Structure 1
C-alpha cells in the first residue's frame, strides 16, 4: 500500500519518485533505494503488525518527464486480515512530471499494488491514481481508487487527500511533516474513514562523507482511526491496534 510522494522515506514505507529531473540530466536514468524500518506504516496503518520491514525500490526516469518503477516490502498477513497471503507487497507505478519553473511542478500517475499469492477470493490487489502539485518543499496530492479499496466491499472510488512537507533545516537535515485523510466509500464503510499525521526528521549523509547516500529518519505517526475497527488478530491470537501512535525509525541507502 505504498504511495508515491509520501513522507519520511515515503512515510517510512515507500519508494519516493523524484519530482523533477535536472535540465542537463540524461534522457534515461535509473535510481533506487533500500531501507529497513522499525514498522512499515502506510497512511498511519501498520502493514507489518507493528514489526520491522525490509524494503527496496527502483525508479526509471524516462524522456520528457515520464517515469516508471517498482517498490516492494515485507509485510504481515495479520495487518491485512488475509491468512493465505504471502508476506510480501509489490507496487508497480508510472506517471508524468511537468516542471513549470524552479519552484513549481505537477505530477500525474498511477500505481498497482499487487500481493503475490493473493487468491481471487480475497481480491485485495488495488489500482490507484494520483495528481499532485509541488511548490518548493510542499506537496498537495489527491489519490483515487479505480478498484475496490484493498478488497473492502463496495469501496470503489475511495480517495485519499494529503499534504506533505520536507523543509530543509540544513543541507543534510530535513523536517518532515504529513497530514492526510482517507475516505472509504460504500454502504456501511463510513466508520473506516480516518485522518493520519506525521512529524519527523531525516538526516542524509553528504556526498563528501564516508557514507554518502545513507539516510536516517525518525518520525512520530498517529491517526484517529477507530480502535474497534482497526484492532486485528494474528493466527496466534495476538491482537494489536495497528493505527495507534508510534515512533518509527528507518535506515535507507539510495543508489
Structure 2
C-alpha cells in the first residue's frame, strides 16, 4: 500500500499541471487524483489561452503502482476572432519511472481536443526528467494545425522554501520549425522564448499560487500570430486549487 502512494506522489509531481499532489486509494495498486482550480487566466507557453480572462481547470488521473497512469484535464479557452472553441480537453496516457530516490523520468502521450472546433485538435509526445529538483523536458507534435511540427523544450527548478512555500521556475523555447512569427518590419522567425516563476502555499485547505510570466515575442509578432498584441506580454497569474 505504501508503494502505491509513493508512486502516486511521484507521478502527480511529474504530470503537473494536471495534478497537485493528493490521491485517493482505490485498491492495493490503484489510486485516483482529482484536482480543481480557479486561475486569473489560462497561461501556456508564453501566451494567454483565455484573452486574459479567468479560467476554471480540473483533472482526474488514474494511477497504477507500476508507474502507469491515464487521465483527463480540461479548461475553458477563448481565442477570439469568431473561434467556436470554448473548452480544451486533454487526454493523457503515460509512465513514470523512478530511477533513483530523487530522480524520475516521465513519458506521456497527449491528445488535445477542442469541442465545436475540431480543426484545432492535435497530439503531443512529452518527456520530463526531474533530478533533485532540476527539471528538463519537452513536448513534440507533428500534427499541429493538421500538419505543422512544433517542439517546446524547457528547463527549470522546483523546491520548497522556508515556511513551506513552494517555488517553481521554468525557461522554455517554442520552435514551430517554420517562420510564423512576423515582426513589424516584415522579418520572421520560427521560435521564441518564454519563462515563468511561481510561488505557492497551502492555506485553509487549498493551494494559493501567484506567478510572473513573460515571453520575448514583440507586440507585432503576437498580433500576426495570435491576432492580439497583448496576450504574449508580461503578466501575473494568480490561482487557487484543491486536491481531493
Following TM superposition, by how much is the alpha carbon of 1:108 offset from its aligned partner in structure 2, in angstroms? Answer: 0.9
Correspondent of 2:148 among 150, 155, 163: 155
Task: Give the CA RMSD over aligned residues.
Answer: 2.9
Following TM superposition, by how much is the alpha carbon of 1:39 offset from its aligned partner in structure 2, in angstroms? Answer: 1.3
Counterpart check, 1:200 vs 2:193: no
Evaluate the alpha carbon distance shift between residue 167 and residue 231 of structure 1 in structure 2; reply closer, same or farther with a 3 A threshold. Answer: same
Q: Give the equivalent residue in structure 1 for 2:38.
A: 36
TM-score by length of 2: 0.82
Following TM superposition, by how much is the alpha carbon of 1:29 offset from its aligned partner in structure 2, in angstroms? Answer: 0.6
Evaluate the alpha carbon distance shift between residue 6 and residue 98 of structure 1 in structure 2; reply closer, same or farther with a 3 A threshold. Answer: closer
How does 1:1-255 map onto structure 2 within 5 Å?
Answer: 10=16, 14-16=17-19, 26-78=28-80, 83-119=82-118, 123-148=119-144, 151=145, 155-156=148-149, 158-170=150-162, 172-186=164-178, 191-205=189-203, 211-212=204-205, 214-231=206-223, 239-255=228-244
Give the paired residue count. 224
Name structure 1 gaps, 5 residues minimum.
206-210
Following TM superposition, by how much is the alpha carbon of 1:241 offset from its aligned partner in structure 2, in angstroms? Answer: 1.7
Evaluate the alpha carbon distance shift between residue 201 and residue 112 of structure 1 in structure 2; reply closer, same or farther with a 3 A threshold. Answer: same
Answer whether contact 2:142 2:148 (CA < 8 A) is retained: no
CA deviation map 1:139-195 (0-9, x unaligned): 1112210312xx2x7522x10111132211036211211110000023656625211
Answer whether contact 2:96 2:104 (CA < 8 A) is retained: yes
Following TM superposition, by how much is the alpha carbon of 1:26 offset from its aligned partner in structure 2, in angstroms? Answer: 3.8
Following TM superposition, by how much is the alpha carbon of 1:5 offset from its aligned partner in structure 2, in angstroms? Answer: 8.8
Evaluate the alpha carbon distance shift between residue 43 and residue 188 of structure 1 in structure 2; reply closer, same or farther with a 3 A threshold. Answer: closer
Following TM superposition, by how much is the alpha carbon of 1:215 offset from its aligned partner in structure 2, in angstroms? Answer: 0.4
CA deviation map 1:104-127 (0-9, x unaligned): 1111111111000114xxx21110
Answer whether contact 2:175 2:192 (CA < 8 A) is retained: yes
